[in-house]
Chains A and B, each alone.
Chain A
Amino acid sequence: MSVMVAPATAIADKNMPDTEGHFGQYGGRYVPETLVYPLQQLEDEYARAQTDLEFQRELSYYLREFCGRPTPLYFAERLTRELGGAKIYLKREDLLHTGAHKINNAIGQILLAKRMGKTRIIAETGAGQHGVATATVSAMFGMKCVIYMGAVDCKRQELNVYRMKMLGAEVVPVQAGQKTLKEAVNEAMRDWVTNVRTTHYILGTAYGAHPYPVMVRNFHRIIGDEARRQILEKEERLPDLLIACVGGGSNAIGLFYPFLDDPTVRMLGVEAGGEGILPEKHAARFQGGSLGVLQGTRSYILQDEFGQIQQTHSVSAGLDYAAVGPEHAWLRDQGRVDYSYATDQKALEAFMRLARLEGIIPALESSHAVAAAIERAPSFSRDSLIIINLSGRGDKDVMQVAQKVGLHMPA
């Protein structure tokens, strides 16, 4: 993690995307013709829902009563003391029902699916948190649910596979390619193209064809809206730095977006550095990637000289993905958000450290954000404030981490 956080003076244009889903040169709608009209219908329905008070009321009701919002903004006292720098707050998305921020978007999208008269739900999942959230809301609303998940991810996030099955979803292990998140998205898109009249695709991150990136961001902005209000209540001032992990980038954009107009608030997105920035050993698109078009949108992707998508690696299934959400690419170009990475090793250390110091077991994805905070907090003064988005809890990772840290685990 060597990228410096630049002083934040730039104000990014919050009026993005444009009407066709572009964030500057990023975003858009690069899909086979069969999906264009269904995406336009989704865009129109979403626009209607945004101004429909009844929809908004229903959404807030479920977010409050079913999901458990608002989530606390918790002062991590021992971590702060030990690092000896900035005061660290944790936005506790891990306390939401199903265990991660993903439910914010899943609830929003299933209410849209209901409005559109869809009866069948599909989704992709990497770590399984989006799959569990989708299976959960499908169960709630009595809809048939199919989740596509890479076969490698099924194995490393087994707990979540069982949870989805218990919730009544069919889990389809995807055997193509490297058998992780990217292949699960391909398979979900194939299903959607085939069953588009009856089926809504609850895409789980701020990625894909318009309107998904903007819609998913808006369903998650409640994270930042709450955090902003909470920090003003507790500290009577805005934070100096926000930190979140970035796979597709939904939890990060959810936290960042409501602070974009606050010039003193700096932001850091943390990608998966895997085993280091070498081809096929990481998933840090801003480190080793280049501009490309994949799975419906234009953004930074990991690809070879001919445009074939490269393999990725991360200890964290949720960050192990070859592309990053288009709005992140845009915010990076604007100099509004900085992006760094944490290696597998640093994430594992952060996982253990948060557990031991705060009694909170974070998801491996969120551990990347914690790792970045551990690195940076000491260089901040004691009166400065950092908010980490603790996007999910680590129950799903317990077996994997136990094996990985093995002998290194303190007795």
Chain B
Amino acid sequence: MNRIEQRFSTLRAEGRKGLVIYIGAGDPNLEATHRLALEFDRVGVDVLELGVPFSDPLADGIVNQLAAQRGLESGTTPPRVLDTIAAIRRESQIPIVLYIYFNLLHRVGVAEFIQAAAKAGVDGLLVLDLPPEEADGYEGLMKAAELCAIWLVAPTTPEDRVAKIVRRATGFVYYVSREGVTGMQQTVSRSIGAMTDVIRRHTPIPIAVGFGISNADQARQVAESAEAIVVGSAVVNRIAEFGRSPELVAKVGGFVRELAEALKPR
């Protein structure tokens, strides 16, 4: 069983909600990414979602765009991200999903990329700009490599399409809780529960909800209607704030621990 599936099955058995944390790889450098990954594992993160920096991140808001820019400036390439994951794997079994734009796979060859990712210890891929209609070859390759193909469902996705998407889902379904790019927001969308109900009509696979969750209260609120929540920009913002400071890992780790605490059953 893949580490992601393993983790969600443990969560279910223990009656806990999952915490998925997104950061940009190589922000401020890959050494920091490595240390953050280990810290996240220690403070109770269930899945690490690692953004591979891309020159044209058109689905991302300004916070994650800047993280990608810092990643590129620190010399972060896809092979170096995979090397870092291989190094993390020697110390941690935290499930890892790569959040990636399709051109980075396409350039080296989808098959080659997937094999290299599996070999490095990646557990799943979330390819932002690859809808199922364009993914025929991709799905077979992912299955063969025993990687989870994580699919997105959006508020604009009609129910017949939800059914079509989640039929392919492995690991978890990622529900993008609002229309827009990645980023933080003051309040979380009220329609989350309605949409997760729709998704559940078509799949037993766990649902993670993301896009815009930025604090413990929101995390708790969203977790009521999903198996896991994703927090990205709020963490990335703190990485930007502390940058290369020696406090980086402790400060960011502290914030993430609060989120993990908020999700614990009371």
Contact = CB atoms under 8 A, between A and B. Distances in A.
B133 A307 contact: no
B145 interface: no
A277 interface: no
A29 B179 contact: no
Given A182-B56, A293-B106, A309-B56, A37 B158 contact: yes
Interface stretch (A3-11, A193-201, A229-237): A193-201
Contacts of B57: 186
B156 A29 contact: no
A305 B58 contact: no
B142 to A, nearest CB: 17
Contact of B180 (A185, A193, A292): A193
Interface stretch (B2-10, B15-23, B123-131): B123-131
B104 A33 contact: no
Interface in B53-85: 54-61, 65, 72, 77-79
A183 B56 CA distance: 8
12 contacts: A29-B134, A32-B128, A32-B176, A33-B131, A33-B153, A33-B176, A34-B156, A37-B156, A177-B55, A294-B103, A295-B58, A298-B106
Given A32-B152, A190-B58, A306-B77, A37 B72 contact: no
A308 B58 contact: no
A299 B138 CA distance: 18
A35 B133 CA distance: 13
A392 interface: no
A307 B176 CA distance: 26
Interface residues of A, number: 39
Contacts of A189: 58
A30 B102 contact: yes
Interface string B165-190: 10000000000100111000000000
Interface pairs A-B: 6 shortest CB-CB: A307-B107, A194-B180, A34-B154, A33-B152, A308-B55, A307-B103
Contact of B54 (A182, A194, A308): A308
B157 interface: yes
A197 B151 CA distance: 22
Interface of A: 20, 28-38, 176-177, 182-183, 185-186, 189-190, 193-197, 291-296, 298, 301, 303, 305-309
Contact of A292 (B58, B72, B107, B179): B107
Given A33-B131, A196-B179, A176 B107 contact: no
A295 B161 contact: no
A20 B133 contact: yes
A29 B155 contact: no
A38 B104 CA distance: 25
Contacts of B105: 307
Given A31-B131, A193-B180, A306-B108, 18 more contacts: A32-B176, A34-B154, A36-B131, A36-B157, A37-B158, A176-B65, A183-B56, A185-B58, A186-B56, A186-B57, A190-B60, A291-B106, A292-B103, A292-B106, A293-B129, A296-B129, A298-B106, A307-B104
Interface of B: 54-61, 65, 72, 77-79, 102-108, 128-131, 133-134, 151-158, 161, 165, 176, 179-181
B92 to A, nearest CB: 26
Q: Point out which of A189, A190, A196 has the most chain B C-beta atoms below 10 A from its C-beta.
A: A190
Q: Which of A30, A35, A294, A305 has the most CB of B within 10 A?
A: A30
B58 A34 contact: no
A177 B54 CA distance: 12
A191 B69 CA distance: 20
Nearest to A310: B55
B181 to A, nearest CB: 5
B250 to A, nearest CB: 32
A308 B72 contact: yes
A306 B72 CA distance: 11
Give the most central of A182, A293, A298, A303: most B CB within 10 Å: A293
A294 B181 contact: no
Contacts of B72: 308
Contact of A31 (B77, B129, B153, B155): B129
Contacts of B129: 30-32, 293, 296
Nearest to B100: A307
B81 to A, nearest CB: 10
Nearest to A210: B133
Contacts of B133: 20, 28-29, 36
A308 B152 CA distance: 23
Nearest to B158: A37
A307 B56 contact: no
Given A30-B129, A37-B157, A193-B179, A293 B152 contact: no
Contacts of B161: 36-37
A301 B107 CA distance: 11
Given A194-B179, A306-B78, A32 B59 contact: yes
